[in-house]
Structure 1
């Protein structure tokens, strides 16, 4: 029971950290009373941890490589080719097509957005994001 409570507190802290990080990146949510209340530490003295993107990442085992090591020097084309040929999970083995991202890499920088699995509209247009979400990104 204590481990469950500890895990729940950790999840709440990490969620607060993520929303706080989004706020610092000027990615804001409609600030409802409930969200405002959630973001405030409770009287239970729950502390917000400093943001660290690797705080909960597992350390590689001896002989393993990290993601950086495996992807160093890869281009978006290399990544696309790797993913098109990936069949490590049931989704990869059963898919009819792979919908890859789109856009341009400028000055060696890219924004990589991972979103929900494609729906019927995305499948039909072979685009990762369609409809209103796409219009918002284009703006």
Structure 2
């Protein structure tokens, strides 16, 4: 009887040890894969103000190489406005595939033409001032006359 009792206790201790090791391994993996944290309003991305970008220009813009180093919170439009360049020219000159996605730490080449910089607000003004296309009423489709549906 005593032998059975000792054997039962040994098996029970081994099962408990295996169980505890499994729990410890589980806790280790839980720490490795962080659970999603709640984001407070202060953690949300906020765009840098134009004044902030202007204040950082001595550190972020290299006049010799004509490169601007993007900072966290910068937007392409704000960079263009501060540097007085056309945002569409920045996209084209830097071969950006998506103007909405720029990465902090990357450098943008700031170019100019013979006449100097093209301010974005002047370009926008000329685009807005252009006449809008005129819509025409279509009354045929595939060569057949279209008649309006009458309400009953």
TM superposition score category, shorter chain reference: under 0.3
- TM-score between both structures, scaled by the size of structure 1: 0.18
TM-score, normalised via structure 2 length? 0.16
**Greater RCO (Cα-Cα under 8 Å, separation 6 or more):** 2
Q: Which has the larger radius of gyration?
A: 2
* Greater strand share, structure number: 2
